[in-house]
């Protein structure tokens, strides 16, 4: 009896120690959903579930800082906001605040400073970058700064500035802005009290349309997903200055048609993954020690208009916006889809790890 009891205690301890739940938020036209799995400490296929948490519609992007989730959305015509949610037990959300963005333009992308003091909001339609002051419990105090950009380029969608992304560098010293409308990356220095100070801008080839950025793990390189010519560019970041290193197409040479680069993320293995919206694929790009890029392969997204991707515990997570899909992928010899869910026009994914 004693041996049996000790065995049961040991098994229980194994399961409690090995059981780790993983979850992520998916935002889009139909509000915010949570997707979750628990592996129970066993090497078996994970069972995913999907649940709607928030009914607030027309969410364009989300950002998470500690236990606070920020969601940019269009409330009504000419009225846009940043909604603030407190993350509660089991990933449930409680709405704390809603900041109405001054003017009639909203944000297509948001991120939060590493210290949690500021939120950076990029307005594609408005041509500006906002810096919002935050308070410790996740509320928004006020609009601290607004930077309006000017310029244009050669593509029909480049009649004016279209900031599409802003985020801090890994060392926290700078903020970089991808301006799709002017083919430029704008650089800012960051100060916890003053906020942002604009520095220089670096140009990409005309018609590139930089949309989103990603950073190497060591912070030495910056990678730009260029929407309009469906390429990816690498830049060396040294002493606060950007220098272009390499440009790589994200499409197979034999393919012709309309396609637009979307989300870009660095995988745990060090490869870049970029969504091709139109070709409806994911491009895997290798990065050399010098920052040179090479297209390794592309594989089908098994849906229409792959919009955002993330990596979580060795799995790839993907939303196909126009086919209303969220899917989970695992890597064997090739990436294979292992689960798929339906939700209306998903736009963005934010992973959360809970123990």
Give per-residue pLDDT as tens, 222-255.
999 999 999 999 999 999 999 999 999 999 998 9
Q: How confident is the model at residue 44 (pLDDT cuts 50, 70, 90)?
A: very low
- Does residue 17 fall inside a structural domain? no
pLDDT, the chain, mean: 91
- Does residue 306 fall inside a structural domain? no
Its domain, for residue 227, covers 22-37+48-296+344-353
CATH number at residue 32: 2.130.10.10
- Does residue 304 fall inside a structural domain? no
CA–CA gap between residue 131 and residue 33 (Å, rounded): 27
Give per-residue pLDDT as tens, 115-127.
999 999 999 999 9
Q: How confident is the model at residue 13 (pLDDT cuts 50, 70, 90)?
A: very low
- Does residue 5 fall inside a structural domain? no
Q: How confident is the model at residue 41 (pLDDT cuts 50, 70, 90)?
A: low
Domains held by the chain: number? 1
Give per-residue pLDDT as tens, 268-302.
999 999 999 999 999 999 999 999 999 999 999 99
């Amino acid at each position: 009896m004693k041996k049996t009891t000790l065995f049961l205690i040991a098994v229980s301890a194994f399961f409690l120690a090995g059981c780790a739940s993983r979850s992520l938020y998916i935002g889009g036209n139909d509000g915010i959903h949570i997707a979750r799995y628990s592996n129970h400490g066993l090497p078996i296929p994970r069972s995913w579930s999907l649940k709607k948490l928030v009914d607030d519609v027309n969410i364009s992007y989300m950002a998470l800082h500690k236990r606070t989730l920020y969601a940019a959305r269009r409330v009504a015509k000419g009225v846009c906001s940043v909604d603030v949610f407190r993350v509660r037990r089991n990933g449930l959300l409680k709405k704390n605040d809603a900041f109405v963005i001054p003017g009639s333009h909203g944000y297509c992308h948001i991120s939060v400073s590493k210290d949690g003091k500021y939120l950076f909001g990029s307005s594609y339609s408005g041509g500006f970058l906002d810096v919002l002051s935050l308070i410790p419990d996740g509320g928004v105090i006020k609009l601290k700064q607004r930077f309006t950009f000017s310029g244009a380029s050669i593509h029909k969608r480049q009649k004016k500035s279209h900031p599409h992304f802003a985020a801090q560098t890994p060392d926290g010293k700078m903020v970089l802005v991808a301006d799709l409308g002017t083919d430029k990356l704008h650089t800012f220095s960051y100060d916890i009290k003053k906020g942002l100070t604009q520095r220089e801008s670096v140009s990409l080839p005309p018609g590139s349309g930089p949309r989103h950025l990603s950073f190497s793990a060591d912070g030495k390189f910056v990678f730009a997903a260029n929407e309009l010519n469906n390429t990816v560019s690498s830049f060396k970041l040294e002493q606060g200055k950007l220098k272009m290193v390499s440009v790589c197409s994200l499409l197979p040479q034999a393919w012709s048609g309309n396609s637009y680069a979307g989300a870009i993320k660095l995988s745990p293995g060090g490869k870049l993954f970029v969504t091709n919206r139109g070709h409806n694929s994911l491009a895997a790009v290798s990065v050399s020690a010098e920052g040179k890029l090479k297209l390794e392969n592309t594989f089908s997204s098994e849906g229409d208009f792959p919009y955002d991707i993330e990596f979580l515990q060795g799995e790839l997570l993907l939303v196909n916006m126009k086919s209303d899909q969220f899917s989970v992928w695992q890597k064997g010899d090739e990436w294979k889809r292992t689960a798929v869910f339906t939700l209306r026009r998903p736009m963005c994914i934010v992973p959360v790890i809970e123990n």
